[in-house]
Chains A and B, each alone.
Chain A
Amino acid sequence: MTRRLVYVVFNFDDRLHEYADEYQKQIEAFLASASPPGVEVVLDIKSSFHAASLQRDGA
């Protein structure tokens, strides 16, 4: 049987991840009732290279 997974990377406005643990609890509670059937959701809450995506300067 085929399994289907969605891996979600979160780049929050809170770039220092000060509230990431609170956000994770909120997201898990939300997904408990809002996830589509037949799909497993994997959360990447504290994205390890989010800071690189925010670097806008060329030098």
Chain B
Amino acid sequence: METKAAYNELPQVSELRDYSISLNLPNAYFWANDDKLTSPYKRKAFAALECELQGLDNEAWEFLKGEVLPRLRSRHPTRGWHQLFDTLNEAKGYNHLVRIGCTSVRFIPRSKTDNIQTPDLRGLLGANPILYEVKTINVSDNEAIRLATGGVGETRLHLETPFLDKLSSVIHAAATQLWRSTKI
């Protein structure tokens, strides 16, 4: 696929790509000579991302873009651009709220006060306010190192205790965050 066609079909992803290229930094996610949007295999994932971004209204897209742009240059040594994608996953949360019938769905700006973490989103379901937090559980440390250095992967039939402990920790942290945010 030609780059121009990719830009037409993936306009919001292309906006991110253009910004990334303009940084001209080795740790930027997109480069001018990459094939992320033109290779059929790679493009599939970005088409899925574009689909999520298309679900945002203008205000939500502008907000999320403001959160995402700085993360286009934030590369972890073994986990790559996970912060970028953790943030982009918030679009999935927005779309989920819309799908279940929420109105007035909005991203919540981050608190400027230390030690106070605001939820990611809010909305209304009927008369009930909704507070919403999006969390991402990424690949294990072992897998992250394997992806960064190469090697043979290992897939397990069942999730093990450390994973479930991490899941529990993530959900309880989110719950605490949501219950502390009664005044939003």
- CB contacts under 8 Å to B, within A1-59, are 1-15, 18-19, 22-23, 26-27, 30-31, 34-36, 38-39, 41-42, 44, 47-59
Q: How many residues of B contact A (CB 8 A)?
A: 62
Tell me whether B55 is interfacial, beta carbon within 8 Å.
Answer: no
8 Å CB contact of B44 from A13, A14, A51, A54: A51
The CA-CA distance from A34 to B119 in the complex, in Å, is 21
Residues of B close to A44: CB separation below 8 A: 89, 92
B171–A36 CB distance below 8 A: yes
The CA-CA distance from A4 to B108 in the complex, in Å, is 14
The CA-CA distance from A54 to B42 in the complex, in Å, is 10
The CA-CA distance from A6 to B174 in the complex, in Å, is 7
* A57 shortest CB reach to chain B, Å: 7
Binding site for A on B (CB under 8 A): 26, 28, 31, 33-36, 42, 44-46, 48-49, 51-52, 80-82, 84-85, 88-89, 92-93, 96, 119, 125, 128-140, 142-143, 147-148, 153-159, 164, 167-168, 170-172, 174-175, 178-179, 182
Chosen A-B contacts, 17 in total, with CB atoms closer than 8 Å, are A2-B182, A3-B129, A6-B133, A6-B174, A6-B175, A8-B136, A9-B92, A9-B136, A9-B137, A13-B139, A27-B167, A30-B167, A47-B89, A48-B51, A48-B52, A53-B80, A58-B31
